[in-house]
Chain A
Amino acid sequence: MNLQAYIEERLAERKVLLMTHLIAGFPSLEANWRMLEIMAEAEVDLVELQMPFSEPIADGPTFARANQQALESGLTLDQYFDLMQRATAAFAFPHLMMGYYNTAFRLGHGPFCRRLAACGACGFILPDLPVEEYGDLWAAGAECGQTPILLMTPTNTDQRLQQIGAQAKGFVYAVARKGVTGRQTDLDDELYRFIARCRAATDLPLGIGFGLRSGEDLRQLQGQAEIGIVGSVLLEVWEREGEAGYAALVRDLAAGRD
C-alpha cells in the first residue's frame, strides 16, 4: 500500500493520526489480540507490532523487560508472523513490523520482506539500522511493497537529517527527545524547533514518538505533526490497570486526534 497516500487521506478527517505499538508475545499472544481489538474499536490509524529481540538497545526499561519476557515465554518468529497475518486479516489499520536488524539479517533481506508482505504488513521500522547499512534491503522492500520507516532524532545534524530525508518513504518517525523509549517528553519549543528541522529535510508526513502519554499530548501535536506515536504508556497501563484501563487510555488517545 502507499502509506503516504493513506496518511494524507486519513488526515482529511482528523487533525492528527494515532499510531500505537505493542510487543508480540507480551504479556501473551492472547493479550496482544485484545489490545488489537481495542485499537480497532478506537479506530487507531496505524499499528507497529514489535518482534522481540534479546538485545533491545533502543528500548528503555519497560520495553526491554517486555522483550525479554516475551522471548522467555517462548515467542518464535513463526508465532510473530502468524500474529501479523491474523491481525492484518482482521483489522483495517496498516501494520508495520518494528524490531531489530538482526531479525532481518538472519532471515535474509529478501525472505524478510517477502514474509512480511505475505502476512499483509506494509513496512518495517528497524531503529538500529542506519541508512548506509541498508544495502539491498531498499530494493527487497520495494519489490514487495514494504516501506522502510526511517528515524530522525534531535541530536542529528541538519546534514544527517538531509541524508535520512533523501531515503525516507511513507512517513518519518521523529524521535522527540534524547534517550531510549519510555521517558516523558515535554512538548515545548525545543520539540517544535526539532520538528522544523525535520520539515526542512523531508516533505513526508512526520510521526512524533517517544514519550507521548495522553490524549492531551496528541491534541498538542495537532497542526505540528501528522502522527502521534504511543508505546510505553500503553504497556505500563496494561500492566497496572489491566484491560479496562488500557481501553480507556486508547479511547482518550484516539479522542486527542480531533
Chain B
Amino acid sequence: MGLTDAIFNHPRLGYYGEYGGAFIPEILRTTLDELTQVFEDARRDSSFWTEFEQVMRTYSCRPTPITLLENLSREVGGAQIYLKREDLNHTGAHKVNNVMGQGLLVRRMGKSRVIAETGAGQHGVATATMAARLGLECTIYMGAVDVERQRPNVFWMEQLGAEVVPVTDGSATLKDAINESLRDWAYSMADTHYVLGTACGPHPFPQIVAYFQRIIGEESRQQLLDSVGRLPDRVYACVGGGSNATGLFLGFLDDAAVELVGVEAGGRGLETGDHASRLAGLVGTPGVAQGYKTFFFQDAEGQMRHTHSVAAGLDYIGVSPILAHLAEIGRVRIEAATDQEVIEALKRMMRSEGIIGALESTHALAGALREVGAMTPDQVVLIGLSGRGDKDIFTIADALADENWQRFLADKAARS
C-alpha cells in the first residue's frame, strides 16, 4: 500500500501509524459517525470531486499558479525556487479549499449552521464566506489574544454575517478556540456542523481536511511537470496544525525522490521554550488532547504548554497526526524557523519579488532560504505560500517598527 493510499484507506480506522484516533466524549460519537459516513459516500461518488473542483474554479481562482522566483533564485544562487500561490485564493489563503469542501458536505447533511475555530482568522473568514454563500448561520470561536492581533479579520467575519465569539479560557489562542467549538458542538450537533480548519482533531477530520487540501499538491505536481518538465527536489511548507503542509505534500508523497520539509514555528528559538514547535528538535511528546493522539508541546505531566509564534495561525500545541506519522517514518523532515528569520524572509521576498506572504507561510520560505544556497541551479524547490500577508499589516508593521505606520495609527486613534 502506498503512503497516500494508507492515508485515505486506513489499515487501522482513524489512525496514521500510531497517531490519530477519535478521543471524544460519547455525546459526539453519533455525530462523528454520521460525518464519517457522509464523507465516505461523497468521496466514493465520482461526481463529488468534479463538483468540488468546479466550485473552486468559479469561486476561488483555482488552479492557483506556481511562480518562479527568478530574482530570489538568482540572489541566493542555488536551486530554482518556485512558489505555489495559495495566497491568490479567494479570502487569501488555502483555508478556503477545505472550507468549501466541507460546505458541500454540510449541504449533503442538510444542516443549517456552521461553527469554526480560528487562529489567524483566515479559516474564520473562509468559513464566514462559505456560510454567506450557502445561506448558513455561522459562529466563529477565536482566542481573545488572536482577536486583538487579527482585528481586520474579525471585522470581515462580522461583515460577512458571522458571530465572532472571543474565547478567554486557557491561553486565549487557537487551542482554546477549538475547545470552545467542541463544547458548542456537543450541544448543537443536531443542526450544526463543526468546520474544523486543520488536519487535526478526531477522525474523520484529519482525513477530510487532507482530502480537500490535496488539491494543492496535485495541482503543483502537474504544473511543475508541465512547465519545468520534472518533479521538484524538495518541497517546503509551514506547519501549524498542518493542513497546508499535508495538502501540498500529498501531491508528492509517493514520489520517493522528492524530499518533503515541514517548517514549524521556532518563535524566539527552540532553546528558549518560547515557540510553537512539536516535531522539530523533538520538543514535543506523544499525547492525547482535543480528540486525537499526536505530538503535543506539553510538560512531563501532560499539561499543554503555552506556545508562542509571531504567526497566530501556527500558534498551536498539536500537529496533524498525518504529519506526526510521516515525520516518524522519516518521509517528512521537520525544521523550525524563528520569528526573526521569518521577518527577514518576508522583507526579502517583498523587495525581490513583490509578493507579500502571510507570516505563517513565510516560515516555509525562511526554512528554504537556509538551505537552497547549498543546492545547484539545475535543482528545483517548491515552496507553499499558503496565504497572503496583508492581514498581518499590524503585526508586520510592529515587527518592522515602521514609524510612518505608527504615526498613522496614533493620528487615527486621536481623531476617533
- Taking Cβ atoms with an 8 Å cutoff, the residues of A that contact B are 53-58, 60-61, 64-65, 68, 71, 76-77, 100-103, 105-107, 127-130, 133, 151-157, 160, 164, 175, 178-180, 183
Tell me if A's interface is mostly helix, strand, loop or mixed. Answer: loop
**Binary contact track B151-190/A, C-beta < 8 Å → 1, others 0:** 0000000000000000001100001000100110011010
Of the candidates A53, A107, A130, the one whose C-beta lies within 8 Å of that of B303 is A53
CB contacts (< 8 Å) of B109 on chain A: these are none
User: In the docked arrangement, what's the CA distance between A127 and B30, Å?
Assistant: 15
User: In the docked arrangement, what's the CA distance between A202 and B89, Å?
Assistant: 53
Of the candidates B27, B179, B287, the one whose C-beta lies within 8 Å of that of A56 is B179
**Chain A residue at smallest Cβ distance from B24:** A128
Of the candidates B22, B291, B293, B304, the one whose C-beta lies within 8 Å of that of A54 is B304
Q: Which of B17-73 contact A (CB under 8 A)?
A: 21-31
CB contacts (< 8 Å) of A164 on chain B: these are 26
User: In the docked arrangement, what's the CA distance between A101 and B296, Å?
Assistant: 14
CB contacts (< 8 Å) of A175 on chain B: these are 26-27
Whether A178 pairs with B25 at a CB distance below 8 angstroms is no
Instruction: State how many angstroms separate the Cβ of A209 from the closest Cβ of chain B.
Output: 12
Instruction: State how many angstroms separate the Cβ of B287 from the closest Cβ of chain A.
Output: 5
Tell me if B75 counts as interface (CB < 8 A to partner A): no
CB contacts (< 8 Å) of B175 on chain A: these are 55
Q: How many A-B residue pairs have CB under 8 A?
A: 112
Whether A128 pairs with B288 at a CB distance below 8 angstroms is yes
Instruction: State how many angstroms separate the Cβ of B146 from the closest Cβ of chain A.
Output: 17
**Which of B28, B289, B293, B302 has the most C-beta atoms of chain A within 10 angstroms of its own C-beta?**
B302
Instruction: State how many angstroms separate the Cβ of B416 from the closest Cβ of chain A.
Output: 33
Of the candidates A58, A76, A133, A154, the one whose C-beta lies within 8 Å of that of B25 is A58
CB contacts (< 8 Å) of B291 on chain A: these are 57, 128
**Chain A residue at smallest Cβ distance from B286:** A105
Tell me if B301 counts as interface (CB < 8 A to partner A): yes
**Binary contact track B280-299/A, C-beta < 8 Å → 1, others 0:** 00000111111101000010
Of the candidates A57, A106, A178, the one whose C-beta lies within 8 Å of that of B189 is A178
Whether A102 pairs with B289 at a CB distance below 8 angstroms is yes
**Which of B175, B182, B186, B298 has the most C-beta atoms of chain A within 10 angstroms of its own C-beta?**
B186
User: In the docked arrangement, what's the CA distance between A127 and B26, Å?
Assistant: 8
Whether A102 pairs with B170 at a CB distance below 8 angstroms is no
Q: Which of B284-328 contact A (CB under 8 A)?
A: 285-291, 293, 298, 300-304, 317
With contacts A71-B303, A101-B23 taken as known, whether A156 is within 8 angstroms of B187 at the C-beta atoms is no
User: In the docked arrangement, what's the CA distance between A55 and B179, Å?
Assistant: 7
Q: What is the size category of the interface that chain B forms with chain A?
A: 35 or more
Of the candidates A106, A156, A179, the one whose C-beta lies within 8 Å of that of B186 is A179
Whether A133 pairs with B169 at a CB distance below 8 angstroms is no
Of the candidates A65, A71, A180, the one whose C-beta lies within 8 Å of that of B183 is A180
**Chain B residue at smallest Cβ distance from A131:** B26
**Chain A residue at smallest Cβ distance from B21:** A133
Of the candidates B29, B169, B300, the one whose C-beta lies within 8 Å of that of A68 is B169
**Which of A103, A154, A180 has the most C-beta atoms of chain B within 10 angstroms of its own C-beta?**
A180
With contacts A64-B179, A105-B287, A157-B30 taken as known, whether A130 is within 8 angstroms of B22 at the C-beta atoms is yes
Given A57-B182, A64-B183, list of 5 further CB < 8 A pairs?
A: A64-B169, A77-B301, A100-B289, A102-B298, A175-B27
Whether A156 pairs with B301 at a CB distance below 8 angstroms is no
Whether B303 pairs with A128 at a CB distance below 8 angstroms is no
User: In the docked arrangement, what's the CA distance between A98 and B29, Å?
Assistant: 20
**Chain A residue at smallest Cβ distance from B287:** A102
Whether B179 pairs with A106 at a CB distance below 8 angstroms is no
Of the candidates A54, A77, A179, A183, the one whose C-beta lies within 8 Å of that of B170 is A54
CB contacts (< 8 Å) of A133 on chain B: these are 21-23
Whether B287 pairs with A127 at a CB distance below 8 angstroms is no
Whether A102 pairs with B302 at a CB distance below 8 angstroms is yes
Of the candidates A103, A157, A160, the one whose C-beta lies within 8 Å of that of B301 is A103
With contacts A128-B288, A128-B291 taken as known, whether A103 is within 8 angstroms of B302 at the C-beta atoms is yes
CB contacts (< 8 Å) of A129 on chain B: these are 23
Whether B288 pairs with A101 at a CB distance below 8 angstroms is yes
Instruction: State how many angstroms separate the Cβ of B400 from the closest Cβ of chain A.
Output: 34
Instruction: State how many angstroms separate the Cβ of A116 from the closest Cβ of chain B.
Output: 15
Instruction: State how many angstroms separate the Cβ of A83 from the closest Cβ of chain B.
Output: 15
CB contacts (< 8 Å) of B24 on chain A: these are 57, 128, 130
What are 24 contact pairs spanning A and B, CB under 8 A? A53-B302, A55-B289, A57-B24, A57-B25, A61-B169, A68-B169, A100-B289, A101-B23, A101-B288, A102-B302, A105-B288, A106-B287, A127-B26, A128-B23, A129-B23, A130-B29, A133-B23, A152-B26, A153-B29, A155-B28, A160-B29, A164-B26, A179-B27, A180-B183
CB contacts (< 8 Å) of A57 on chain B: these are 24-25, 179, 182-183, 290-291
CB contacts (< 8 Å) of A56 on chain B: these are 179
User: In the docked arrangement, what's the CA distance between A107 and B303, Å?
Assistant: 12
CB contacts (< 8 Å) of A76 on chain B: these are 301
User: In the docked arrangement, what's the CA distance between A151 and B29, Å?
Assistant: 12
**Chain B residue at smallest Cβ distance from A210:** B27
CB contacts (< 8 Å) of A128 on chain B: these are 23-25, 288, 291
**Chain B residue at smallest Cβ distance from A180:** B183
User: In the docked arrangement, what's the CA distance between A71 and B304, Å?
Assistant: 11
With contacts A55-B179, A57-B179 taken as known, whether A127 is within 8 angstroms of B25 at the C-beta atoms is yes
User: In the docked arrangement, what's the CA distance between A14 and B171, Å?
Assistant: 45
Whether B304 pairs with A55 at a CB distance below 8 angstroms is yes
With contacts A57-B291, A103-B302, A128-B25 taken as known, whether A156 is within 8 angstroms of B179 at the C-beta atoms is no
With contacts A133-B21, A155-B31, A156-B30 taken as known, whether A180 is within 8 angstroms of B187 at the C-beta atoms is yes
Whether B183 pairs with A60 at a CB distance below 8 angstroms is yes
Instruction: State how many angstroms separate the Cβ of B302 from the closest Cβ of chain A.
Output: 4
User: In the docked arrangement, what's the CA distance between A133 and B28, Å?
Assistant: 15
Nearest first, the 3 closest Cβ-Cβ pairs linking A and B are: A106-B302, A179-B187, A102-B302
Instruction: State how many angstroms separate the Cβ of B294 from the closest Cβ of chain A.
Output: 11
